[in-house]
Structure 1
């Protein structure tokens, strides 16, 4: 297995975890300014990790 694919899978999993945590914080928020900042930060980072991981997996070719 290729190192790039492993790193892409790791980034994808971290992105999914970030997006799930964003949903958890969003569902338990009280509407405070601090909560909204946390939602934005975790959501953006999760989305970046997820998209870059999927892109890395797609761009890496299988070599047998």
Structure 2
């Protein structure tokens, strides 16, 4: 099993989780906007880097 592909999947799941948390906090009108923005940006970075790792990693048998 490829370690890069597994790490990419974990990053993608963490990114999705943080984006869902950010959306939930924005819907509930959280007063800590800077914290929500930072979590959202980190979630986007995790999500896109995870997708990139999964997509660009070659399968070698």
- State the TM-score, normalizing by the size of structure 2: 0.93
Aligned partners of 2:11 and 2:3: how far apart in 1? 12
Structure 1 residue 36 displacement after superposition: 1.0
Shift >3 Å, 4+ stretches: none
1:59 aligns with 2:56: yes
RMSD of aligned alpha carbons: 1.0
Q: Which residue number corresponds to residue 8 of structure 1?
A: 8
Aligned partners of 1:18 and 1:41: how far apart in 2? 10
Structure 2 residue ranges without an equivalent (≥5): none
Structure 1 residue 14 displacement after superposition: 0.2
Tell me the number of residue pairs that the alignment of Structure 1 and Structure 2 aligns. Answer: 61
Aligned partners of 1:28 and 1:44: how far apart in 2? 19
